[in-house]
Amino acid sequence: MATTPVPTPLLQLSRLRQADIYAKAEFLGRTGSIKDRIAAAIYGSIDHGQPKTFVVGSSADFAISIAAATAGRRRKIITVVPENVGGDKIHILKAFGADIVRTPAGAHPSAPESALQMAKKIAADTPDAVLLTEEDHSEPAFDTLIQELSNQLPGKPLDRLVVPNTLSQPSLQTALSKHYFQAKLVTVPVPDVNADFEEYRPDSGHAHHGSYVTLKEACTAARSATWNYGLLCGIASGAALAAASALAGEGKSETIVVLLTDSAKDYTSTLLDDDWLLQHGITTDTREEAIQKFRGASVEDLQLGEAVSIFDSHPIGEAIELMVSRDYSQLPVINAKRKIIGLISLGRLQAHVNSGDLKNLAEPVAKWMYSFKTNKKFELITPDTPLAQLDEFFDRHPAALVTDESGKFPLAVVTKYDLLKFCAKRGV
């Protein structure tokens, strides 16, 4: 059921030189996009008796907002999107029951194979269908947005509104002029996630509209907003934030508001992936903190106790007795060929004993161990492995088996708890 968009918060980020920077977190809306406002305005204006099919020929975010606004109304949604739209958004659209039509990426808007032109053709050829685009009713949606903003800035002027160029600029400019006649609209082209990280050449058609940032600058600004302000905003928002910081650096006494229009949740394999960022030359605040925290230390610096292994065929009671007597929390498990095949945990075994699941202590260790998956590449952890690398390993695994360089002989077992104790001793 469609609802009026809930007002989004306005947060003061910083004062840079003489400029005050605020962020309006539009990504905290219903589906994580500013497009919810437009979808709600469009849906409220449609005769709910007709049509039966909505054809969306715009961005995937807008299509998701339309699908959410019409949920439960038994409307068929056909959304036409370029082939470079990410899989996460496609999964969301399919969860809403939308039919997906892909078009070539980079097609000129007037070309018949572009998303918009294809959507027009589908709408014309489909009975009881209507074409929906972001320009439909975007002006009243933005008018509500700017009115909401003026209520959040009582008595304070607005000098610049910085937005990604994914919004309808004429409609936003019209709404802005009604409330802030002197305010300037600064539109920032959003770098493609597949673009060169260091360069961004804007479309010549946007050359007079605003600021330009690289993909690297956009990603850095977005992750910085997450680290410093708890804002999980996306790359489009990051581009606007980077541009706003550059404008504030000019030294003018002014109020700048940035619209954060998209969510980081749409970029799980790129913006939120530290490894992907590192491959492109970006060291995030979290990665930098980890490097500083361990100060170049390696596994050897943990001063772990020597590992004692147990055969998979030995009784589980023997494993428990061994771990209790030596104050071990885990034991490596080896097979008859002395190959490491798994790990046994004292805590897990005690839980099963207490619950009554483990009654026969003569059962083999193999039945109760954590098996190492043989179809995955073995990640070698040695005494020389940097602790920063080991810390990343624990993002995916509960424990690590430290071996020699050959990976054949177990030397110790280490867990994230060992790392936490190490940091505590160092006072970090």
SS3 61: helix
Identify whether the C-beta of residue 413 lies closer than 8 Å to the C-beta of residue 343.
Answer: yes
**To the nearest whole number, what is the mean pLDDT of the chain?**
83
Q: Please state, in angstroms and rounded to a whole number, the distance separating the CA atoms of residues 311 and 293.
A: 37
| Two structure tokens written together for 171 | 């409609």
Specify the pLDDT at position 259: 96
Helices 235-248 & 215-229, crossing angle to 10 degrees? 90
Specify the pLDDT at position 206: 38
Q: Among 198-202, 342-346, 361-365, 378-382, whose mean pLDDT is lowest?
A: 198-202
Per-residue pLDDT band at 159 (split at 50, 70, 90): very high
Specify the pLDDT at position 208: 35
Specify the pLDDT at position 25: 95
Specify the pLDDT at position 288: 61
Q: Among 24-28, 32-36, 389-393, whose mean pLDDT is lowest?
A: 389-393
Average pLDDT over residues 127-135: 86
Q: Has residue 326 got a pLDDT over 80?
A: yes
**CATH no. of 294-426:** 3.10.580.10
Sequence spans of domains, the chain: 10-32+138-287, 35-132, 294-426
Specify the pLDDT at position 78: 92
| Domain 35-132 matches domain 294-426 at the CATH topology level | no
Identify whether the C-beta of residue 324 lies closer than 8 Å to the C-beta of residue 349.
Answer: no
Phi-psi region of 190 (alpha: psi -120 to 50; beta: other; left: phi over 0): beta
Specify the pLDDT at position 152: 93
Residues of the chain with pLDDT > 90, as a percent, come to 26
Model pLDDT for residues 236-263, shown as the tens digit of each residue: 999 999 999 988 877 788 899 999 999 9
Specify the pLDDT at position 202: 44
Fold of 10-32+138-287: Rossmann fold (3.40.50)
Model pLDDT for residues 172-217, shown as the tens digit of each residue: 999 999 988 889 999 999 888 766 655 544 443 333 345 688 888 9
Q: Please state, in angstroms and rounded to a whole number, the distance separating the CA atoms of residues 156 and 148.
A: 14
Q: Please state, in angstroms and rounded to a whole number, the distance separating the CA atoms of residues 151 and 412.
A: 61
Whole-model pTM? 0.71
Model pLDDT for residues 98-119, shown as the tens digit of each residue: 899 998 877 788 888 888 899 9
Average pLDDT over residues 338-343: 81
**CATH no. of 35-132:** 3.40.50.1100
